[in-house]
Structure 1
Amino acid sequence: MSFLTDSTHLHIATWVIAIVLFLVAALASSSKAIHMVLRLFYILIIITGGALFYKTMSYGMGMEYGIKFLLGILTIGMMEMVLVRKSKDKPTMIFWILFAVFLFATLFYGFKLPMGAKLF
């Protein structure tokens, strides 16, 4: 378990790969295999994020990291909604907008927290 919590590199690598896969799946016409691989990355993101969340409980910042965890789950939910609605030929614009909003909020909040990179 210490491998998961020694740094945030594994978590960052999983969500960067997932975002790239999501964009490929959303823009490709036939993306069943990519969508299945993306679902695996959702699980990896949640596992690594959960491990980091568990580690931060000793920092006394559980609520802040809990909010970031919730924003991350909402981002993953919007990614899945875009792909599922696209496969059913339903409108996806509102879910693209929500995805962008939740992704921005998650990244901003994640980088602002003590374990994040000092960008802001």
Structure 2
Amino acid sequence: MSFLSSTPHLHITTWVIALVLFFIAALASKKLTGVHMALRVMYILIIISGGALFLEWRDKIPESGMNYDMKVLFGILVIGFMEMVLVRKGKGKSVNLFWILFAVALLVTLYLGLSMGIGMNF
């Protein structure tokens, strides 16, 4: 299963596709059940590929330490806020707070993920 953790390409591809599907579903004028179900499949793939990367790289780069743990936490929060936006939108409830929480969690996750050892140096 080294294809999951040798490079972050699979993980990055899954979350980019998930973000595209999320914005399609969130900004659509009607409820897109098929897109929402495809997004849920992407959540599973994100967690599997991210978990493999976490297990492979966490102890190999000592200066990152708890940053990987924080990235996992914020990554799960991003997925949760994406789901909350779509479910509350489908029910006709207010989603403004969850959009803000989603944006903050996404920015923190992107920064942590891209600034660590297997990402880019800012």
Shorter-chain TM-score range: over 0.9
Structure 2 unmatched ranges of 5 or more: none
How is 1:23-102 mapped onto 2 (pairs within 5 angstroms)? 23-28=23-28, 29-59=30-60, 60=62, 61-102=64-105
Residue 106 of structure 2 corresponds to 103
Q: Secondary structure at the match of 2:119?
A: coil
Q: TM-score, normalised by structure 2?
A: 0.93
Deviations 1:16-49 (CA, angstroms, capped at 9, x unpaired): 0000000000011121110000000000000000
Q: TM-score, normalised by structure 1?
A: 0.95
* Residue identity matched to 2:68: Y
> What is the total number of aligned residue pairs between the two structures?
119
- Distance (whole Å) between structure 2 residues aligned to residue 58 and residue 5 of structure 1: 13
- Distance (whole Å) between structure 2 residues aligned to residue 106 and residue 80 of structure 1: 16
Query: Percent of pairs identical after alignment?
Result: 57
Structure 1 unmatched ranges of 5 or more: none
For the aligned residue pairs, the C-alpha RMSD in angstroms reads 1.0
